[in-house]
Amino acid sequence: MKCNSKESQVEKQQKRLIYFALKQLGKPYKYGAKKHEIGRVFDCSSFTQYAYRRIGIELPRSTILQAECGEIIPARKKPPFFRREDLQPGDLLFFKGTKGHFNKKFPNGIGHTMMYLGNGLFIHASGSGSKKNQKVKLEKFEKVVNRKDFQIAKRIIGSKTKERSKSKAR
């Protein structure tokens, strides 16, 4: 009997996404980063859009539109909303924000997104804290999954729902 050790297409995409996301670590945060600035500075949604674009998946520019993409990952009713085994690399978690955007699907608003990297770590472009601390950075799993402002989690890679995210052939 032969064992098949080939990586799946999903695993390859996840590894590439993690690689491109981690290359942005430490880059400055700028709320409302303009298209020509992205790559040098990021806000949370331009960061996830940029990383996903590197693996051939187009996401919308704003967090609220990104929250409409992919498949919903069921969450628990109260914190912690997830265990590590519930999430896969590339999954996006969305949160309320003070500068959130609202629509009928998200009446509480969506103002921030973070990407799960695996191994208990999230990455995001954070605008909180001192100016020096506003950058693309890592967060520990326990800190993120216990946030009371959590709204929805979405799986983009391997998603059967391609409402707004569309894969590009490479």
Looking up residue 79, the CATH number of its domain turns out to be 3.90.1720.10
CB 13 within 8 A of CB 90: yes
pLDDT given at position 101? 81
Whether 124 sits among the annotated catalytic residues: the reply is yes
Q: Is residue 98 included in any domain, yes or no? A: yes
Q: Is residue 104 included in any domain, yes or no? A: yes
Q: Is residue 3 included in any domain, yes or no? A: no
Of the candidates 3, 36, 44, 69, the residue annotated as catalytic is 44
pLDDT by position in tens, the chain (length 170): 445 556 799 999 999 999 999 999 999 999 999 999 999 999 999 999 999 999 999 999 999 999 999 999 999 999 999 999 999 999 999 999 766 688 889 988 999 999 999 999 999 999 988 999 999 999 999 999 999 999 999 999 998 754 444 444 33
Per the structure, the complete domain to which residue 93 belongs is given by 9-167
Q: Is residue 1 included in any domain, yes or no? A: no
Rounded Cα–Cα distance for residues 146 and 26 (Å): 24
Whether 101 sits among the annotated catalytic residues: the reply is no
pLDDT given at position 97? 74
Whether 69 sits among the annotated catalytic residues: the reply is no
Give the containing element (helix H, strand E) for 47.
helix 44-54
Q: Is residue 83 included in any domain, yes or no? A: yes
- Is the pTM above the cut of 0.85? yes
First to last CA, the chain: 34
When divided into structural domains, the chain yields a total of 1
Residues contacting residue 30 through CB under 8 Å, at least 6 positions apart: 37, 41, 42, 43
Q: Is residue 105 included in any domain, yes or no? A: yes
Q: Is residue 60 included in any domain, yes or no? A: yes
Q: Is residue 2 included in any domain, yes or no? A: no
pLDDT given at position 166? 44
Rounded Cα–Cα distance for residues 25 and 47 (Å): 10
pLDDT given at position 168? 40
Rounded Cα–Cα distance for residues 123 and 143 (Å): 12
β-bridge mates for residue 71, sequence order = 155
Rounded Cα–Cα distance for residues 9 and 31 (Å): 34
